[in-house]
Each structure stands twice: as C-alpha cells, then as structure tokens.
C-alpha cells in the first residue's frame, strides 16, 4: 500500500493553495484561513507574516472550495421584468459586483408580469436552487410574484418599491422627498404654471412622487392649480399626456414627468409644436436614466444610485440568508439611500414671469 507522492489530476500547474501559503509562512492552513477571512484570534505578528506570504505567492482563495466547505455560495435570483431597461444595465452591474464580493452566484430570470409567467419563473428559480431573490421595479410591486416567492420560502428584497409591504426587505430612495425637492426647484426658478405627469398607478413610487409634488406645491401656496395628466412610465404614454398638457390654455411653463422616458416624450412633443426647451418650456424628469443625458437639451432629473441600490439589495439578501441560518433572522429592513437632483439644460427660469 504505497502512497503515491501526489496524484495531480490535471497535469496543468495548480494554482497556489492555502497550503502553499501556510508552508511558506510557516504556519498551519487554518491560521492562513483565519487571516484571509479576517477572523479574530490571530496575533498581529502572525497576521503580518501570513499576509506577506499571501502577497508573495499571489494567493487567491479558491471560491469553489471555500463555498463548498462553508456551505456558502448560495444562488441568488434576479427576477427582472421589463424595467425602464436602461435601468437594468446599472442594476446588473451593482448586483453582480456585490454577488462577486460575497461569492454567491447570481441567476437571472426574466419574467413577464402575468400570473402564469410569474409562476413559471419562480418555479425555474426554485429548481435552480435559488434561495433569495432581488426584485427590481416594476416586479417589486407585483403581489402575485411576491406571493409566489414567499410560498417558495424565498427571501426577497424589493428595490425601489416606495411603500413595500411590511414583511419584505426593501431598498429605495425617498421618492416623496425627491419629488418634493424637484418641485421646490421648479418653484424656486420662478415657475408658477406647473404640469405634472403621473407614473404608472400600479407602482407605489408613482404615488410617492405625486405626493411629493403636491406637498411642495402646497407648502409654496398661492399657485394656480397644476395641470395633471396620468402617464404609465412609457414614452408613448408621456406623449399622450404631453399633447394634453400642451394643448390647453394657459400653457404650463414647466412640466414635471414622473420618469425620464415620459419627460423625453414631453420634449419631443414640445419640439414638434415649436416650443423651445427650456426657453419656452421647462421639462424635468425622474430616474436619471440613460436617455436623460442623451437627448438635447439634457434632462434635469433625479438621479438614483441604481448600482448601489442593487448592491445593497444583494448585501441584504446575503445577510438575511446567512444570518437566518444562524437563527437570527432580523426583521425586514427598509433601507433608504440618497438621491440627487441633477441639473442639465432642460430647466430654466420661465421666459416672462407673470408674478
């Protein structure tokens, strides 16, 4: 029964392992592991030595092994429906980045908003061994999907749901405050005849934005009643709303659309009517989506740190899953992140202030 020196399976040169580092540093693999994972109970001297060895050898832990040993490496789902879609890009970047950081795998799943499709998507997720799901808008608002997911005992983090149910985790901006801030900005510019295009009624963010708008209007007081149209977050719906807003008299001097796509539509319609933006009409949006900087004039809008939000969502998911394993499942968190008013060229003082 002779023991072969080392049955290296694939002839290829193995990468440096924790044992190599341990040998090099003159400690046990365990100690290296502790250092690498920032564990406690390691003396400073040892830590230094080990870190030195790590650097020297260019050691990078094997994710697969680590995941296997620590029963980590869970799969997280990202169920995306049909987000404003420029949204998705940033969202994915942020989510993927966080996933890499935590060493979890991110599984994408597309899903239409019909009950049947939701069910199918959730089933695929479950089959894929996913233990938690990030829900970007607009899926985060779908009660059906949430129910399906909860039935499958998945943890959920909704992103950008302005008023999530109490029992799901959520990360979002303060839509109310943001819309109020934008409206205050318009008022500060001197606008008095305001137009507002509401967002899709099935999203709670829409209502928050609307509430923020009216709050600012009311606190200013002494304004003609704003003209309001219903929109649905699509370019098309924005166009319809814009036509209505721009046909009556008196024309609004500033229009606040509940997202950028609709704001872009307002600008298109304004141009068609030979109204110059921002000289004849101020247009502002919400989201700071891709289109905002890619039209002319650039759109003044509210920026959401989408990537950051997606990242935090994944963080929360991981924390929940790992924490939950140890029994300590904290109550659902609702994390607010900071938004930012981005000024570009589409907003200016009104041409002739009647005030």
The rounded distance, in Å, linking the Cα atoms of 196 and 200 is: 13
Asked if 172 is part of the footprint of DNA (rule: CB under 7 A), the reply reads no
Asked if 105 is part of the footprint of DNA (rule: CB under 7 A), the reply reads no
Which residue, among 50, 48, 16, has the nearest Cα to 30 in the 3D structure?
50
Q: Cβ distance 52 to 26 under 8 Å? A: no
Among residues 2, 7, 153, 328, the one that binds DNA under rule CB under 7 A: 7
Asked if 114 is part of the footprint of DNA (rule: CB under 7 A), the reply reads no
Q: Cβ distance 135 to 156 under 8 Å? A: yes
With CB cut-offs between 5 and 8 Å by kind, which of a second copy, DNA, none does residue 58 bind?
a second copy
**DSSP-derived secondary structure for 10-79:** SSSPPPP-HHHHHHHHTS-HHHHHHHHTT-SS--HHHHHHHHHHHHHHT----HHHHHHHHT---EEEEE
Report, in Å, the least distance between residue 36 CB and DNA: 6
With CB cut-offs between 5 and 8 Å by kind, which of DNA, a second copy, none does residue 30 bind?
DNA
Q: Given the rule CB under 7 A, which of 55-63, 191-199, 238-246, 269-277 is the region that contacts DNA? A: 55-63
Residue 83: HSE in the Cβ half-sphere, 13 Å Cα cutoff: 26
Could you tell me if residue 153 is left (phi over 0), alpha (psi between -120 and 50 degrees) or otherwise beta? left
The rounded distance, in Å, linking the Cα atoms of 101 and 95 is: 10
Asked if 70 is part of the footprint of DNA (rule: CB under 7 A), the reply reads yes
- Applying CB under 8 A, the residues found at the interface with a second copy are 9-10, 12, 15, 58, 60, 62-68, 71-73, 75, 85-89, 92-93, 96-97, 100, 105-108, 110, 127-129, 235, 239, 261, 264-265, 268, 271-272, 274, 290-291, 293-296, 325
Report, in Å, the least distance between residue 330 CB and DNA: 20
With CB cut-offs between 5 and 8 Å by kind, which of DNA, a second copy, none does residue 18 bind?
DNA
Residues that bind DNA (CB under 7 A): 3-4, 6-10, 14-15, 17-19, 26-34, 36-37, 40-43, 45-46, 59, 61-62, 65-66, 68-71
């Amino acid at each position: 029964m002779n023991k072969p020196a080392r049955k290296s399976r694939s002839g290829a040169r193995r990468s440096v392992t924790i044992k190599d580092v341990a040998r090099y540093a003159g400690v046990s693999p365990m100690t290296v592991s502790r250092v690498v994972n920032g564990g406690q109970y390691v003396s400073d001297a040892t830590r230094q030595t080990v870190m030195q060895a790590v650097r020297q050898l260019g050691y990078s832990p094997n994710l697969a092994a680590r995941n296997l040993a620590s029963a980590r490496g869970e799969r997280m789902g990202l169920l995306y429906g049909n987000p404003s879609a420029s949204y998705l890009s940033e969202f994915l970047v942020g989510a993927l980045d966080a996933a890499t950081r935590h060493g979890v795998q991110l599984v994408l799943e597309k899903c239409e908003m019909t009950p049947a499709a939701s069910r199918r998507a959730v089933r695929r997720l479950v089959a894929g061994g996913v233990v938690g799901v990030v829900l970007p808008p607009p899926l985060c608002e779908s009660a059906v999907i949430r129910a399906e997911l909860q039935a499958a005992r998945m943890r959920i983090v909704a992103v950008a749901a302005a008023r999530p149910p109490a029992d799901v985790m959520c990360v979002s901006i303060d839509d109310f405050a943001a819309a109020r801030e934008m409206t205050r900005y318009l008022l500060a510019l001197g606008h008095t005849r305001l137009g507002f295009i509401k967002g899709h009624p099935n999203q709670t963010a829409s209502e928050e934005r609307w509430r923020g708008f009216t709050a600012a209007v009311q606190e200013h007081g002494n304004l003609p009643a704003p003209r309001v149209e219903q929109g649905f977050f699509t370019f098309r719906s924005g166009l319809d709303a814009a036509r209505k807003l721009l046909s009556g008299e008196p024309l609004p001097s500033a229009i606040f659309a509940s997202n950028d796509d609709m704001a872009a539509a307002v600008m298109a319609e304004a141009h068609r009517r030979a109204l110059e933006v921002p000289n004849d009409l101020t247009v502002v949006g919400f989201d700071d989506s891709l289109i905002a900087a890619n039209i002319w004039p650039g759109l003044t809008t509210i920026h959401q740190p989408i990537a950051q939000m997606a990242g935090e969502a994944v963080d929360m998911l991981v924390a929940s899953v790992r924490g939950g394993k140890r029994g300590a499942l904290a109550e659902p968190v609702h994390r607010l992140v900071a938004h930012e008013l981005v000024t570009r060229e589409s907003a200016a003082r009104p041409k002739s202030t009647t005030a």
